[in-house]
Chains A and B, each alone.
Chain A
């Protein structure tokens, strides 16, 4: 069973703060790394799928970077807004057996 770890488990920031969190995964047999946003009472929605070492993706105020050699990805949120409050999940794919392994997520709460 692959170990995908996310830190911190939870985060509480003020509106306007910038924040970041980490997804750690095995550096061997890397194929793809996914990020999802999961709002309460909704379903997870894809943010990014990253495949190349050094890759950077951006969607509005949210961006992500990938380091496959050391086995981590960072998700950044610039100028957090209350609507950014959600659990952010990462998921790791080795390229074999069509299985995506999810981390337990970072729960972000943004208050006014």
Chain B
């Protein structure tokens, strides 16, 4: 049972480049989300989805795009990378609702130069 699989683990981008962080879960979870972790700050919600075809913005959505075409996958797209997006990114999912425990991916450390 793979759980939440997140790729890549590390990425270096130049300012202005675009990329997609991949997240997949094999637990048939309806709820999926993306967080970023910055020093001195708690995990901050970027975008979330309560089911296939449904997405919504979190606390810090600017500069990021998501889609949820299947239950399993929830990719996060950086449209035009900026140094302010240097962070550690986590994908997390739960079975149905966000009041159930979250399962986290292994994280992506992203540096934007």
Contacts and interface: CB of A to CB of B under 8 A. Distances in A.
B98 A93 contact: yes
B40 interface: yes
Contacts of B40: 104
Interface bracket on B: 20 to 34
Contact of B101 (A1, A46, A98, A104): A46
The 4 A-B residue pairs with the shortest CB-CB distance, nearest first, are A46-B101, A102-B42, A32-B99, A43-B104
Contacts of A31: 99
Size category of the binding interface on chain A: 20 to 34
Contacts, number: 60
Contact of B42 (A32, A43, A93, A105): A105
Given A34-B101, A43-B104, A101-B59, 20 more contacts: A1-B59, A31-B99, A34-B102, A43-B105, A43-B107, A44-B102, A46-B103, A49-B99, A49-B100, A91-B43, A95-B99, A97-B56, A98-B48, A98-B50, A99-B45, A99-B48, A99-B59, A101-B45, A102-B35, A104-B42
Contact of B106 (A1, A36, A43, A100): A43
Interface of A: 1, 4, 31-32, 34, 36, 42-46, 49, 51, 89, 91, 93, 95, 97-105
Interface of B: 31, 33, 35, 40-45, 48, 50, 56, 58-59, 90, 92, 97-107
- Per DSSP, chain B at the interface is loop
Contacts of B41: 104
